């Protein structure tokens, strides 16, 4: 089968695509950003990259960095139209199916083309906040209502988003719930896991912005100095707002507190492998991949539950704790205190059962079966 994948260049996409490497399909990638160079991670895929600029003029990067307003003005005349370039590539490849990853990134920009070719089969993979968050933005909702009735097939990373999709006009075939980047290489992760009794770290995801809500967690932590004095507290992936908050708070003076910016993925796994508790907080997400990795690494998860998504896997008080209001610092204090008196062995055992269903090989086999049925 010929499969034309449409996505921005992300680790999740590369992981998903590589599941198909030995399946015998002819796979193409249209980089929706048009700005990438060929990607070695997916060198087996035929890649349409670097198509966006009419002219990559000398000094372009300098102007982009130093004079962003001027750069945007120039780019209005220097960028090719996404829909036109995609249609040309669609006619060149003549795929059996188009597979778009993330609606607002890879479906909305090509919807005019897909409406022009109604017989062309189209898969949409919903990721993260794709539907749950953006349904509340009028301009995005317009795209959602236009795209979903045209889509033939749907993957989601949680059951919640399938229900949302049906509410906005999706009547095609639901292909199932799968992690956005495919399954997890648990054998490679295992080497970083410490026994429960050796774990004295509480790990906090440091995202703060459109969806991340690390600062309410840190406000709660700052009121629990006595309760947390025996733990190492580590924030990772911290956004600038989080650094600013810490530098203006008492946390910067705590000897057992450390804040990190972006770090390599392997370093995140090492931190998870020595963490007793993992805390992730956001106002919107799909099934959080970072939380999945944390529980696979044996950490006890404390996670926000936007739209009930986390409760699809986490039973409150059994294999984790749920944060129902991501802005409520008092609730956060209560939940963090509760996380210190849990049966971690029971939680690990329950989460091991989840992990066994989400290994790379199991998910890969299930995904390949789905593609096979589309023939």
Query: pLDDT tens-digit profile of 30-67?
Result: 999 999 999 999 999 999 999 999 888 888 889 889 88
331-349 confidence digits (pLDDT tens): 999 999 999 999 999 999 9
Regarding whether 299 and 169 lie in a shared domain, the answer is no
pLDDT digits (tens, 9 = 90+) for 187-236: 889 999 999 999 999 999 999 988 999 999 999 999 999 999 999 999 99
Please, which pLDDT band fits residue 71 given cuts at 50, 70 and 90? confident
Question: For position 221, what pLDDT does the model report?
Answer: 98
Provide the strand spans (E) within 54-184. 97-101, 121-125, 153-156, 173-177
Structure tokens belonging to residue 76: 């209005």
What's the mean per-residue pLDDT of the chain? Answer: 95
Helix (H) or strand (E) holding 65: helix 60-66
Q: List the beta bridge partners of residue 46.
A: 28
Query: Is the domain of 196 the same as that of 149?
Result: no
Sheet holding 121-125, edge to edge: 46-48, 26-31, 2-7, 97-101, 121-125, 153-156, 173-177
Q: 175 and 225 share a domain?
A: no
Look at residues 114, 117, 99, 109 and name the one whose alpha carbon lies nearest to residue 3.
Answer: 99
Report residue 114 as tokens.
């897909």
Which DSSP string corresponds to 158-218?
SHHHHHHHHHTT--SEEEEE--TT--B-HHHHHTTPPPGGG--EEEEE--BSSSBBHHHHH
Proportion of the chain above pLDDT 70, given as a percent? 100
> Are 105 and 234 contained in the same domain?
no
Asked if 215 and 208 touch (Cβ cutoff 8 Å), the reply is yes
Q: Please state, as a whole number, how many other Cβ atoms lie within 10 Å of the Cβ of residue 195.
A: 7
Tell me the per-residue pLDDT of 129-152, one tens digit each, with 9 for 90 and over: 899 999 999 999 999 999 999 999
List the domain range (segments joined by +) for residue 75.
Answer: 2-183+359-373
pLDDT tens, residue by residue, 236-272: 999 999 999 999 999 999 999 999 999 999 999 999 9
- In this structure, the answer to whether residues 233 and 321 fall within a common structural domain is yes
Query: Any residues with CB less than 8 A from the CB of 63 and at least 6 apart, and which?
Result: 70, 71, 74
Q: Exposure of 191 by Cβ count < 10 A (0-12 exposed, 13-18 middle, 19+ buried)?
A: exposed
Give yes or no: residues 6 and 116 share one domain: yes
Pair 190, 179 in one domain: no
Question: Are residues 312 and 364 located together in one domain of the fold?
Answer: no
Whether residues 165 and 190 share a domain: the answer is no
Q: pLDDT, tens digit, for every residue of 15-28?
A: 999 999 999 999 99
What is the model's pLDDT at position 219? Answer: 98
**CA 325, CA 306: separation in Å to the nearest integer?**
8
Q: What pLDDT does 338 receive?
A: 97
Q: How high is the pLDDT of residue 59?
A: 87
pLDDT at 101: 97
Q: Tell me: pLDDT of 74 over 90.
A: no
- Answer whether 295's CB lies under 8 Å from 269's CB: no
Domain match, 363 and 332 both:
no
- pTM for the whole structure: 0.91
pLDDT at 55: 86
The number of folded domains in the chain is 2
Which residues have CB under 8 Å from 43's CB, separation 6+? none
Tell me the CATH number at 84.
Answer: 3.40.50.2000
Helix axes 289-296, 265-273, angle to 10 degrees: 50
CA 91 to chain CA centroid, nearest Å: 31
3-state DSSP assignment of residue 47: strand
153 and 216 assigned to the same domain: no
Say yes or no to pLDDT of 375 above 80.
Answer: no
- Closest among 280, 300, 291 to 340, alpha carbons compared: 300
Residues 118 and 177 in one domain: yes
pLDDT digits (tens, 9 = 90+) for 286-320: 999 999 999 999 999 999 999 999 999 999 999 99
Bridge partners (DSSP) of residue 3 are 27, 97
State how far the Cα of 196 lies from the Cα of 193, in Å rounded to an integer.
Answer: 9
Parallel/antiparallel/unpaired status of strands 275-280 and 201-205: parallel
**The predicted structure's pLDDT at residue 41:** 95
């Amino acid at each position: 089968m010929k499969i034309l994948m449409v996505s921005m260049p992300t680790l999740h996409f590369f992981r998903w695509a590589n599941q198909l490497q030995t399946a015998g399909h002819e796979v193409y990638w249209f980089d929706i950003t048009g700005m990438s160079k060929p990607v070695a991670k997916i060198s087996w895929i035929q890649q349409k990259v670097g198509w966006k600029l009419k002219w990559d003029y000398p000094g372009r990067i300098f102007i982009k960095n130093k004079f962003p307003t001027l750069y945007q003005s120039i780019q209005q005349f220097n960028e090719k139209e996404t829909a036109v370039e995609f249609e040309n590539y669609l006619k060149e490849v003549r795929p059996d199916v188009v597979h778009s990853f993330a609606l607002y990134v890879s479906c909305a920009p090509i919807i005019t083309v897909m409406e022009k070719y109604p017989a062309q089969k189209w898969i949409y993979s919903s990721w993260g906040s794709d539907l749950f968050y953006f349904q509340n933005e009028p301009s995005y909702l317009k795209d959602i209502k236009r795209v979903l009735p045209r889509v033939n097939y749907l993957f989601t990373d949680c059951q919640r988003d399938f229900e949302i999709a049906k509410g906005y006009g999706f009547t095609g075939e639901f292909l199932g719930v799968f992690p956005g980047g495919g399954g997890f290489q648990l054998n490679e992760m295992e080497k970083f896991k410490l026994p429960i009794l050796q774990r004295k770290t509480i790990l906090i995801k440091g995202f703060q912005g459109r969806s991340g809500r690390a600062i309410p967690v840190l406000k709660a932590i700052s009121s629990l100095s006595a309760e947390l004095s025996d733990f190492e507290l580590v924030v990772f992936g911290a956004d600038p707002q989080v650094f600013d908050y810490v530098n203006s708070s008492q946390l910067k003076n705590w000897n057992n507190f450390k804040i990190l910016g972006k770090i390599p993925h392997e370093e995140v796994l090492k931190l998870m492998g020595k963490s007793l508790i993992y805390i992730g907080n956001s106002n919107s997400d799909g099934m959080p991949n970072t939380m999945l990795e944390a529980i696979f690494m044996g950490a006890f998860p404390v996670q926000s539950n936007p739209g009930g998504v986390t409760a699809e896997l986490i039973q409150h008080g059994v294999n984790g704790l749920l944060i129902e209001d991501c802005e409520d610092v008092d609730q956060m204090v209560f939940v963090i205190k509760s996380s210190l008196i849990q049966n971690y062995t029971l939680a690990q055992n329950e989460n091991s059962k989840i992990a066994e269903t989400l290994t790379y090989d199991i998910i890969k086999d299930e995904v390949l079966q789905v593609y096979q049925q589309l023939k």
